Amino acid sequence: MARLVKLYSQIDHIKEQYFIRNRIAEENRARENAAAIKIQSWFRGCRVRVYLNHLHKKATVIQKVWRGFTARELFRQRVKTAYFTMKMNFYNKMAVKIQQRWRGNYVRKYIHNYYARKAYLEELTQKNEQIRRDLEEFAELQRKERERISLEREEQQKCIQAQKLHFLLSTKQCPGIFNSPFRQAPDEMELRLQKVKPLMVRSATTDRKSRKTRPQSPRQPDSGHILPPIHSKQPQGPFRAAQEVQQQRSRPLEPSLRVATSITALEEARNELKRQEWRTRLIDQPFQPFSHVHNNKTYERSVHTSAPFEQVAYGNKYFREQNTEQLQGKKPFKTVFTTCHVFDKFGRLYSKAGNIV
């Protein structure tokens, strides 16, 4: 009872304390709420980050395993490709060697006669040497003939010059210009002047008579036009002969190259060169490298043998016997591997293991 009375006596103080604490709690509620939110956000962030880190580690493991698997598969594929390339290169090389041996044997046996060709080349060498010696002798003869003709021409020109300069001959009273007293021996021209006779100039009357008796040539100008007579007195000095002057005056016209040649001379010369090349060439079909024109060409039998292949003159002695009955109906040789064109497949064949040339 006493306690109840005591409580009734303190009820105002209790209400006052209740309101004070309630006010303080209301004042701290917003701050405590913000702190609680901050703590919750930090905790949830840590939990999410840990979970994401765990996912990243698992994804890294999965990627590592998958990339290793794909890399190993790619490496196996590359090893297979390199091995296949190396094997094909080896097969191609062996096929080329087999084709080389077979074609060499076939050519030596059925196409080219080695001993006949050797004998032919020896005879051709001897013939060439003989022709070369003959040509050298002929060239030497021509050179000597040209020298002889040039010497004769020079000698003739010197004689004509000596005839023109005969008035310069030395006399007993007056020495000539070619016989100077200061020389030990006379000049060569002085000796020529002593040997030759002077060049006589014909008179006008003799020239007229010779013109009347001599027939007119078609190259000379009009016969009605007569040149004035030349004085009978011999001119003093190194003058040309009257006949040479007459020929110089009455010589025909010399047309220029533009007038003398035709306007189609170049085309005619080209056609003539083409015709001459066509006459002298041995093979009518032009050589076409890297083409398949020769595949469609039919084989022309040789006139020197009746065999289905080309000329065979030495096979019975040094190679196998040729049996015509066995060769009839026999299919031609076929290669195991087809030949590859070097420039068509350059960089894809004949390479080392996995390396492109």
User: How far out from the chain centre does Cα 279 lie?
Assistant: 27
pLDDT at 134: 93
Q: Is 195 exposed, middle or buried (0-12, 13-18, 19+ CB in 10 A)?
A: exposed
Query: 82, 353 in Cβ contact below 8 A?
Result: yes
Q: 9: which 2 tokens?
A: 């006596």
How close are the terminal C-alpha atoms of the chain, in Å? 117
Structure tokens at 73: 């598969």
Residue ranges of alpha helices (H) inside 107-223 are 114-164, 188-195, 204-213
Burial class of residue 36 (count of CB atoms within 10 Å of its CB; 0-12, 13-18, 19+):
exposed
Q: What is the pLDDT of residue 341?
A: 52
CB 193 within 8 A of CB 162: yes
Secondary structure tally for the chain: helices H, strands E: 10, 0
For the four alpha carbons of 27, 30, 31 and 32, in that order, the dihedral sign comes to positive
Rounded mean pLDDT, 199-226:
55
Q: Rounded to whole angstroms, what are the CA distances from 153 to 147, 159, 300? A: 10, 10, 61
CA angle 131, 137, 140 (to 5 degrees): 140
pTM, whole model, 2 decimals?
Answer: 0.28
Instruction: List, for residues 158-182, the tens digit of each pLDDT value.
Output: 888 888 888 888 887 787 778 877 7
Higher-confidence residue of 308 and 279: namely: 279
DSSP annotation of 108 reads I
pLDDT in tens, 49-98: 999 999 999 999 999 999 999 999 999 999 999 999 999 999 999 999 99
Q: Residue 230 corresponds to which tokens in the numbers above?
A: 């030349």
Instruction: Identify residue 315 by its one-letter amino acid code.
Output: G
Contacts of 313 (CB under 8 A, 6+ apart): 113, 115, 116, 304
| 354, 344 contact by CB (below 8 A) | no
User: Rounded to an integer, what distance in angstroms lies between the CA atom of residue 32 and that of residue 42?
Assistant: 15
Cα separation of 143 and 350, whole Å?
Answer: 60
Please state which of the ranges 127-131, 148-152, 241-245, 281-285 shows the lowest mean pLDDT.
281-285
Long-range own/partner contacts, residues 275-281 (CB < 8 A, 24 or more apart): none
